[in-house]
Amino acid sequence: MKHLKYLALGATLAFAFAAQPASATTTIALLVKNLGNGFFDAADKGAEQAAKDLGDVKIIYTGPTQATPEGQIEIINSLIDQGVNAIAVSANDADALVPALKKAMDRGITVISFDSGVSKGGRQMNLFASAPDQIGDQCLKMANDLLKEKGDVAILSATSTATNQNAWIDIMKKDVGNYPNVNLTKVVYGDDKQDKSYSEAQGLITDDPNLKVIIAPTTVGIAAAAQYVEDKGLVGKVLVTGLGLPSEMIKHVKSGASPEFALWNPIDLGYAATTIAYNLATGKEKATPGGELSMGKLGKVKLDDDLSGPMAPPFVFDASNIDEFSKIY
């Protein structure tokens, strides 16, 4: 009887310890398109701030060296093996990542996408930095404002499979009639690589002597295109706008190569994505169509039927504010 009592007590203690998590720390992986990208480095700062505010949260900042879906899939499988609690991913391909992310969710890992979305079957919600129509129309408006009269405008995008880029470009194609100065000509892809974006900008300008504006809705592409315009002495003849980081664009604003551009705050984006991932992973909130999710100090995001929602409208930078914001990100 004495031995049975000890066995029963041991079994009870073993069950008690097994029923409790080994650690209360919530591990969230911030999986970005590629490392060495200033936009995502800024998002990581926001993620770390959110982790500090939330308490007992560990951030794993990771991504492939090249912006490919294959590189992200390899990392997702590794994160599954590590047993992270949540993955917040900016996708290089909306569909290619779905099987690996489904596997992660089947293992109990919370998955959200941010910035560049994953198809609905591969995540629990998607956080757009801004609504696609807001971004596409802002890019067109800036190009229209830069043109003194009707002129050719081309788009230098990131990868051909980037879901966010494609959504914005679709809006631009659909709404271009609302901007009388803009004659939209062609779309090329720099794959979020500085050297390729630079050469694609060269090709656009060489192929179209009437080209007046390049819209690059990518932080790598806009800086590369503006640099090419400066290097070839084309400032004033060809102008560059789109989406960029103030710290990388300040010299191009001051040179006149890119008089104005837009972006949301990537620090806020990392903060919001981390907060949402934490609340979902810990069961504090649930993503539902028409529902709202907390972004902490940034307020709430309202989800549509696709379980997607925007963080905030894009903000325009120019000579009047570039000095201030270039010190921040």
**Could you give the CA distance from residue 115 to residue 270 in angstroms, rounded to a whole number?**
9
pLDDT of residue 2: 38
The pTM assigned to this predicted structure is: 0.78
83 pLDDT band (50/70/90 cuts)? Answer: very high
**Residue 17 vs residue 32, higher pLDDT:** 32
pLDDT higher than 70, residue 5: no
**Could you give the CA distance from residue 319 to residue 328 in angstroms, rounded to a whole number?**
16
23 pLDDT band (50/70/90 cuts)? Answer: low
Strand pairing class (110-114; 125-128): parallel
Give pLDDT tens digits for 292-328.
999 999 999 999 999 999 998 899 999 999 999 998 8
Q: How many beta carbons lie within 10 A of that of residue 293, not counting itself?
A: 24
Cβ within 8 Å of residue 275, ≥6 positions away: 50, 53, 54, 294, 295, 296, 298
38 pLDDT band (50/70/90 cuts)? Answer: confident
pLDDT higher than 90, residue 4: no
Q: Is 130 exposed, middle or buried (0-12, 13-18, 19+ CB in 10 A)?
A: buried
**Could you give the CA distance from residue 167 to residue 207 in angstroms, rounded to a whole number?**
26
Give the pLDDT mean for 54-81: 97
290: left (phi over 0), alpha (psi -120 to 50) or beta: left
148 pLDDT band (50/70/90 cuts)? Answer: confident
Cβ within 8 Å of residue 252, ≥6 positions away: 223, 226, 227, 230, 240, 258
What is the CATH number that goes with domain 132-263? 3.40.50.2300
pLDDT higher than 90, residue 135: yes
**Could you give the CA distance from residue 29 to residue 39 in angstroms, rounded to a whole number?**
17
Give the pLDDT mean for 252-264: 97
Q: How many beta carbons lie within 10 A of that of residue 65, not counting itself?
A: 9
The closest alpha carbon to 58, from 38, 30, 32, belongs to 30
DSSP state of 235: B
Instruction: Give start-end residues of each CATH 3.40.50.2300 domain in the chain.
Output: 10-130+266-311, 132-263
- Whether residue 213 contacts residue 143, with contact meaning beta carbons closer than 8 Å, is answered with yes
Give pLDDT tens digits for 184-222.
999 999 999 999 999 999 999 999 999 999 999 999 999
pLDDT of residue 60: 98
Classify the C-alpha dihedral 34-36-37-40 as positive or negative: positive
Fold observed for domain 10-130+266-311: Rossmann fold (3.40.50)
Scanning 86-127, the segments in alpha helix (DSSP H) are 98-106
What's at 158, amino acid-wise? A
pLDDT higher than 70, residue 14: no
Give the pLDDT mean for 217-244: 98
Q: How many beta carbons lie within 10 A of that of residue 139, not counting itself?
A: 28
pLDDT of residue 17: 34
**Residue 95 vs residue 6, higher pLDDT:** 95
User: Residue 193 in 3-state DSSP?
Assistant: coil
Give pLDDT tens digits for 101-118.
999 999 999 999 999 999
Give the pLDDT mean for 86-114: 97
